[in-house]
Structure 1
Amino acid sequence: MLARLFAVLLCCLGAAHGVRADAPPGALPSGGLRLLTEDFPPVNFQQDGVVKGLSVEVVQEIQRRLGQQDEIILMPWSRAFREVQGPGQTALFAMARTPAREKQFKWVGPIVTFYSSIYAPARGGLRLHSMEDAKRAESVLVVRDWYTAEQLATLGFKNLVPVADPVTAIRMTLAGRATLFATERLSMPQTMAQAGIPEASLEIVYSYASSEGYIAFSRDTPDSVIRAWNARLREMKRDGSFRAIYKRWLPNDAPPP
């Protein structure tokens, strides 16, 4: 009788804190983790007030398997990037995992593959044959705090011009205010569509790297949470649900292992 009462009490306590009684070890109560993302279609974006995208569906499925329903908040990347480096239990996705960021965060993934490319106005006749050609350009636009900016700075670029968002960079490039725009190609078609700019206005003049994107957690997040999220993601990769989500959003790309 006492054992039964104790079990009921545990169940009630779990429900009161937003965690199922049968939740896996490492699951946080709902409201215990801040989930941040940015406008980066089709990986993560907002449409009609609803946050959507490949990584959003992956995160939501992990939460479902953990018995959690924390809200996903969309905000500008630079702000989200600062917040996930601060105190508290916070996650930001999808973030490229780079050597410079390795020790700044705890990682769950990979959940997407990013492809770095350099764009210029279409039909301008410009072609790059190496990264050295890009270094000699008058200016190369990058989005502030994106991994592409970090990559080029690490490679010794001295001509980088940081801007707040990709739409600003696209418009500046087309207006002739910069020579090149270094960015990630997955998001470009939908970003340009959202901005009302024909996709054919820009073209890739050089592609130079690929990087895997992860869910990046703040250092304050317990290791038990990281293990629980990685375990659920591995389950999704084994049972085919991860691949199904990936192919729905990026049918022409291979999901990361």
Structure 2
Amino acid sequence: MSEPVDGLRGFDHEVVEEVFRRKGLAAEIIYVPWTRAMSDTKNGLSPVLLSCARSEERAEYFHFSEPISRDTYGLYFRRGFELPEISGLSDIIGQRVASVHGYVSLAKLHEIGADPIEVPSETTGFKMLALSRIDFLFSGKEATDFFLKQSGMSGEFDFHEIEYLEYHLCLSKKHPEAGALLQPFNDGLAEVKADGTYQLIHARYR
């Protein structure tokens, strides 16, 4: 989160800072629009992108760290709403579903041929759900649950899991110093997971 919420910046943000700190490496996390962050790192203007999912296309431009987090993607719906039979994402085609502008979840809906409603934020999506203007909000659970908690609407919705994605630190293949960061980062990540620091960071967001 570019602006802290109750002093919290995001679990990926905290984990990455802690890993670099342990390895004696200075890390400054700068928040810019996603398209610029992707472009700058892809072209070697920035060494590292926080964070991205692995894909064949991105493997052309990035080295991927070990997974720093995972996001369980699925459908939020009003408590009491009769859920149709949904075993995969394609089953959502034809349903009234929304997702947040710029998120990978929205791109996935377009990829399968759905006609999603774009919303500017999770908060807007949940307000539309509560008013029955949509039936589903497709989003990642780990991050979205934090926003639900902040909005005081946690008890109003249920969640149906579809799939999950793992997120990585993505290091530019074009930046001269980025490749050398990969192994130290992976080693430090293993350390924070082994000693419980990783789990403590994530617990603050539940």
Q: Same fold (TM over 0.5)?
A: yes
Determine the structure 1 residue equivalent to 2:139.
183
Moved more, 185-194 or 123-132: 123-132
Change (3 A) 1:103 1:170: farther
Which one-letter code corresponds to 2:197 in the other structure?
I
Q: Which runs of 5+ in 2 are unaligned?
A: none
Unpaired runs of at least 5, structure 1: 1-37, 40-44, 252-257
SS of the equivalent of 2:69 reads strand
Matches within 5 A, 1:97-108: 97-108=54-65
- Which residue, out of 87, 95, 116, partners 2:73? 116
Q: CA RMSD in A?
A: 2.7
| Cα pair 2:46 2:172 within 8 Å, conserved | yes
Which of 149, 154, 161 matches 1:199?
Answer: 154
Residues 106 and 250 (structure 1 numbering): CA distance in 2 closer, same or farther, change over 3 Å?
same
- 1:133 matches 2:91: yes
One-letter identity of the residue aligned with 1:225: A
Q: 1:172 to 1:151 in 2, by over 3 A?
A: same
Q: Hey, what's the Cα distance between the residues in 2 that align with 1:183 and 1:46?
A: 21
TM-score by length of structure 1 reads 0.65
Cα offset, 1:191, TM superposition: 0.5
Which structure exhibits the higher relative contact order, with contacts defined as CA atoms closer than 8 Å and separated by 6 or more residues? 2
Aligned to 1:84: 38
Q: 1:159 to 1:71 in 2, by over 3 A?
A: same
Q: Residue 226 of structure 1 aligns to which amino acid in structure 2?
A: G
3-state SS of 2:80 partner:
coil
Mapping 1:1-257, distance limit 5 Å? 38=1, 46-48=4-6, 50=7, 52-74=9-31, 79-86=33-40, 88-89=45-46, 91-130=48-87, 131-137=89-95, 139-154=96-111, 156-194=112-150, 196-204=151-159, 206-218=160-172, 220-222=174-176, 224-228=177-181, 230-238=182-190, 240-243=191-194, 244-250=196-202
Moved more, 64-73 or 209-218: 64-73
Give the conservation status (yes or no) of the 8 Å contact 1:143–1:162.
yes
Preserved contact between residue 171 and residue 178 of structure 2 (Cα < 8 Å): no
CA deviation vs aligned residue, 1:18-60 (integer Å, no higher than 9, x gap): xxxxxxxxxxxxxxxxxxxx46xxxxx7235x55333223221
* TM-score, normalised by the number of residues in structure 2: 0.79
Deviations 1:91-127 (A, max 9, x none): 3323222345443544333111111111111112234
**Aligned pairs, number:** 198
Bigger Rg, structure 1 or 2: 1
